[in-house]
Amino acid sequence: MRALSGIQSSGKLHVGNYFGMIKPALELQEKGETFYFIANYHALTSVTEAEALRASTRDVALDYLACGLDPERTALYRQSDIPEIHELAWLLSVVTPMGLLERCHSYKDKLAKGIPANHGLFAYPVLMAADILAVQADVVPVGQDQKQHVEVTRDIAVKFNQKFGETFKIPEPLIRESVAVVPGLDGQKMSKSYNNTIELFAPQAETRKAIMRIVTDSKTVAEPKDPAACNIFKLYSLFAPEQEREAMAARYRAGGLGYGEVKKALYEHFRTYFEPFRQRRMEYQNDPERVEQILQRGAARAREELRKTLKAARRAVGLD
Ligand code: ADP
Ligand code: TRP
């Protein structure tokens, strides 16, 4: 089994990214071959400052490693280190119907928000398809919001195979239903574009402040509460072991539990959970040469697969 996934380098990673994508992706390291990369070409559709893109690309590499990416098992690379990906994207784009891209939620959402549409934003899913098909991935671990993009990839691959002969493996999205959408501080999907995130590696005082800002209803301490309807509880459940979670749910229902107390418990869990990650991140941060080496090695590995795929695709269309 081969897995591939990417994260855009367009901001700080948050709890939604971790539970929605990074954690499930890293668990696959035990089960097969894994390719995880930093989607910095994709990030260019929103990041317009060169230094910000550089910094964010470095950050995402450190974040992956901090969260437990094992460079001995996983090819970790920067998308921009394999520019040949664009040739594959072009070969895919000629079999991609306009309508398929026009229907993409993430494109439509951005238009609705008044973000001016450029071709990069529109063609985004085609480049994503190239990322996935380049290494002939079987599964793509992502959060719910990326499911449609993986479906677009499947459609494109099927079309190409029908037109030019069997070239690409058809990948499956892999979505953890239990954490499909992690809520943000305001109860909407946690997302950097909504400014409602709990960052993974912010200074601890900031994390605490963010957690204290989680929106709740206005029930008094004494009133019984419904844990399933509470954002704090949803976040708490990502960290707390089952028994603790059940005990907390019972206290919600019984009344006498204030939201402030649950926020504190959530903060403590967050801190304990991410402390070893924070330490590991620091170690890598202090050794930029090692990180660079890992990225170069990862790119070489990804390129090896990409070259094979590209050769087959060029032959299929008559460019050999
Ligand atoms: P953002 O919405 O903050 O811009 P990205 O789109 O960069 O996040 O997402 C990177 C990965 O993390 C994707 O696989 C995405 O599905 C996952 N992800 C992002 N936010 C969440 C969330 N709130 N819940 C679950 N998964 C998420
Ligand atoms: N679009 C993804 C996101 O915003 C990032 C991404 C780019 C990706 N290429 C990919 C994810 C290939 C999975 C596979 O989160």
Average pLDDT over residues 39-56: 96
Whether 234 sits among the annotated catalytic residues: the reply is no
Mean pLDDT of the chain: 96
Question: Which residues does residue 199 pair with via DSSP β-bridges, in sequence order?
Answer: 14
How many C-beta neighbours within 10 Å does residue 194 have? Answer: 12
Compute the distance from residue 179 Cα to the ligand 1 centre, in Å: 11
Residue 189 has pLDDT above 80, yes or no: yes
Type of residue found at 305: E
Q: Which has the closest alpha carbon to 232: 192, 193, 274, 264? A: 264
pTM reported for the whole predicted model: 0.94
Please state the CATH superfamily assignment of the domain spanning residues 202-281 in this structure: Tyrosyl-Transfer RNA Synthetase (1.10.240.10)
Where do you find CATH 1.10.240.10 in the chain?
A: 202-281
Whether 147 sits among the annotated catalytic residues: the reply is no
Whether 311 sits among the annotated catalytic residues: the reply is no
Question: Which residues does residue 8 pair with via DSSP β-bridges, in sequence order?
Answer: 39
Where do you find CATH 3.40.50.620 in the chain?
A: 2-181+288-317
Sequence-distant (≥ 6) Cβ neighbours of residue 315 within 8 angstroms: none
Pocket test for ligand 2, best of 18, 128, 151 (most atoms within 8 A of CB): 128
Confidence of residue 179 (pLDDT cuts 50, 70, 90): confident
Structure tokens at 263: 């926020």
Please state the CATH superfamily assignment of the domain spanning residues 2-181+288-317 in this structure: HUPs (3.40.50.620)
Nearest bound ligand to the CA of residue 186: 1
Residue 103 has pLDDT above 80, yes or no: yes
Binning the chain into helix, strand and coil, the percentages to the nearest 5 are 60, 10, 30
Structure tokens at 69: 């990416």
Average pLDDT over residues 83-107: 97
